[in-house]
Structure 1
Amino acid sequence: MFKLLIILFLHVIAIQAFSQSNGKIVEKVALKNFGELIQYIKVTESRDSVKLLKSRFKYFDKVQVFGITYWSDSLRVKGFLLRPKTPGKYPAIIYNRGGSLEHGSLTHPMASIGLGELARLAHRGYVIAASQYRGNGGGEGQEEYGGNDINDVLNLIPLLESQPNVEISRLGMFGWSRGGMTTFLTIKRTKRIKAIALGAPSSNLTRTILDRPLLDEWWSEFIPNYNVNKAEVLKRRSVIYWVNELPKNIPILLLQGEDDKSLLPDFTLDLSKEFTKHKIPYRLIKFEAGSHSLKAYHEEVFNELFKWFDKYLK
């Protein structure tokens, strides 16, 4: 009996020690310029892609950029940490990327928001943390598109808290497309976020799949239990069905292109109506003829982001 109690005690201690490691950085590699980034991620890009990436990286050498590996559950997950070069205490923003697998990766040339844009936000005076999500970018595990990979975002909070230049009481969140879904699922589980900005957020997967039936095969590959009960799985990932469960003290900025072919503008309009109904504070900005990435409006988008986060985090 005594031996059994000792084993149980050691098991509890092991669990506690492991849980405390969530968010702990395993590896941190400084990336000083665009060339080092390409070498770090070990990708082969076409010349056109490299040229495109370079045009989006003019702020890259103005801030400190680190490729990181950190613990999330029992997995080593990949991500990035960006911070101003000037010493001091800064508010922080967690960025939730869009897409799945390598499509929409933070280093993908077609990502709506990539490391170049995040460097611009960091240069404004923010520490930025962003996950590639488990199973992506060389990380362990398999992403679940709104399943246990939400822990990969939540575990960025203690990671940021451990950084000496972060004022963790001023923590925001920014997401694009799938990153909108990720953000909504995250704020159901934490009260640490003070303000949110979202571009073309994924808010109704049950309707999205009707417009893009190829997603059915894609999601069936990596969403747990998807083929068992598709309707339930998609509703759990669709904020439009549970807006009433969102906190009512987090201001939300919605940025939406009116010519979005990936996620219909109606989705965001419907979401804004639910926000009004349930007294969720928000501001919706629509961009005429704007695409899903709002590429043609990046200057306007960043001006709005700066105003929003400066107001609520600084």
Structure 2
Amino acid sequence: MLKYANNIMDSQRYPSPNPAIDVFLITYLSDSYRVKAFLAVPKWEPGTENGKFPGFLYLRGGIKGVGMVRVGRIIQFASEGFVVLAPFYRGNCGGEGYDDFAGEDRIDAFEAFEILKEHPLVDRDNIHIFGFSRGGVMALITAIEKPDAKSIVTWGGVSSMFLTYEEREDLRRMMKRVIGGTPAKVPDRYSWRTPLEQIEKIKAPVLIIHGAQDKNVSVEHAYLLENKLKEHGKRYSKWIFEDYTHYFPPQVNRTVVQDLTLWMKNGGYYPET
């Protein structure tokens, strides 16, 4: 069993579709809950100056079975030279507790960030945070809590739970159940899940990636985040893809993965800009 941090309770090898990447299914303690996650580790020699890999915290979208972490997806990022840790969040795939939709389950992301720091092959001063869809708001919340993050990427990411409730009628029943009511009845609970008013606490550069035709998470989320970053003088990049929705075509997806990981490795700058 691979155990290098005190809160790792169990780890088992998991079938990897890439012979150059080791994959583990780990169980770690978050609050009092056992939470599941995938860990992907490249087999080749690390390329960083201190002989270690950068860390990559992958924060999934969706809730419960929708938007679950896929091994193929984390392999994409590990193949770019990162040790990738992807929590399932509490209450998923045999994990204890209940998925709280960017509520108390944020602790799962915070703990995963610390686990990456403790990995023997990870440069603890070079940890990046990535969030897709619902994971976008999780990434921002985590970056606020962990100001030593090296960079933050939000791809098709939620930035406001108020806006999500407004634009996703199909999610309203779930949001009322999980959050405890509507934005009108429990605005504090929606505010707590909306990190825009704490953007000044983020220290790292932010990359916003969004499809302009996105119907799952409207591009307005990207613009809300951009405006707050501007307001507080934060360094950010914005890549809006006019022709794409929430999910990009496979070839475009691969190219964007390569570009965003290059942006991360260059300290929040893309070499051609």
Please, what TM-score do these two structures have when normalized by structure 1?
0.77
Distance 1:294 1:127 in 2: 24
Q: 1:70 aligns with which of 28, 38, 49?
A: 28
Residue number in structure 1 paired with 2:8: 25
Q: Given residue 216 of structure 2, which amino acid in structure 1 is its aligned partner?
A: S
Q: Given residue 235 of structure 2, which amino acid in structure 1 is its aligned partner?
A: P
Residue number in structure 2 paired with 1:57: none
Distance 1:274 1:288, change over 3 A: same
Q: Which runs of 5+ in 1 are unaligned?
A: 1-20, 35-59, 107-113
Higher helix share: 1
Q: CA shift at 1:73, angstroms?
A: 1.0
Distance 1:245 1:193 in 2: 14
Residue number in structure 2 paired with 1:293: 247
Note if contact 1:176-1:200 (Cα within 8 Å) is conserved in structure 2. yes
Q: CA shift at 1:23, angstroms?
A: 6.0
Note if contact 1:33-1:61 (Cα within 8 Å) is conserved in structure 2. yes
Note if contact 2:90-2:96 (Cα within 8 Å) is conserved in structure 1. yes
Distance 1:231 1:213, change over 3 A: farther
Q: 1:175 aligns with which of 127, 131, 140?
A: 131
Note if contact 2:38-2:85 (Cα within 8 Å) is conserved in structure 1. yes
Q: Given residue 77 of structure 1, which amino acid in structure 2 is its aligned partner?
A: V
Matches within 5 A, 1:83-232: 83-88=41-46, 89-106=52-69, 114-223=70-179, 225-226=180-181, 229-232=185-188
Matches within 5 A, 1:22-61: 24-34=7-17, 60-61=18-19
Q: CA shift at 1:305, angstroms?
A: 1.4
Note if contact 2:90-2:108 (Cα within 8 Å) is conserved in structure 1. yes
Please, what TM-score do these two structures have when normalized by structure 2?
0.87
Q: Which runs of 5+ in 2 are unaligned?
A: 47-51, 269-273
Q: CA shift at 1:183, angstroms?
A: 1.0
Q: CA shift at 1:190, angstroms?
A: 1.8
Cα deviation per residue 1:8-29 (whole Å; 9 max; x = unaligned)? xxxxxxxxxxxxx986211111
Note if contact 1:97-1:178 (Cα within 8 Å) is conserved in structure 2. yes
Q: CA shift at 1:86, angstroms?
A: 2.0
- Residue aligned with 2:86, SS: strand
Q: CA shift at 1:185, angstroms?
A: 1.3
Note if contact 1:78-1:137 (Cα within 8 Å) is conserved in structure 2. yes
Q: CA shift at 1:31, angstroms?
A: 1.6
Cα deviation per residue 1:171-228 (whole Å; 9 max; x = unaligned)? 11011010011111112212221111110110122122122223221123323x4469
Distance 2:5 2:169 in 1: 36
Q: Given residue 233 of structure 2, which amino acid in structure 1 is its aligned partner?
A: K
Cα deviation per residue 1:38-89 (whole Å; 9 max; x = unaligned)? xxxxxxxxxxxxxxxxxxxxxx332011111111111110001111112542
Of 210-219 and 279-288, more deviation after overlay is shown by 210-219
Q: Given residue 64 of structure 2, which amino acid in structure 1 is its aligned partner?
A: L
Q: Which runs of 4+ in 1 moved over 6 A?
A: none
Residue number in structure 2 paired with 1:15: none
Once superposed, what is the RMSD of the aligned Cα atoms?
2.1
Distance 1:23 1:191, change over 3 A: farther
How many residues matched?
Answer: 258
Residue number in structure 1 paired with 2:266: 311
State percent identity of aligned pairs.
28
Q: Given residue 43 of structure 2, which amino acid in structure 1 is its aligned partner?
A: K
- Residue aligned with 2:217, SS: coil
Note if contact 1:243-1:274 (Cα within 8 Å) is conserved in structure 2. no
Q: Given residue 232 of structure 1, which amino acid in structure 2 is its aligned partner?
A: D
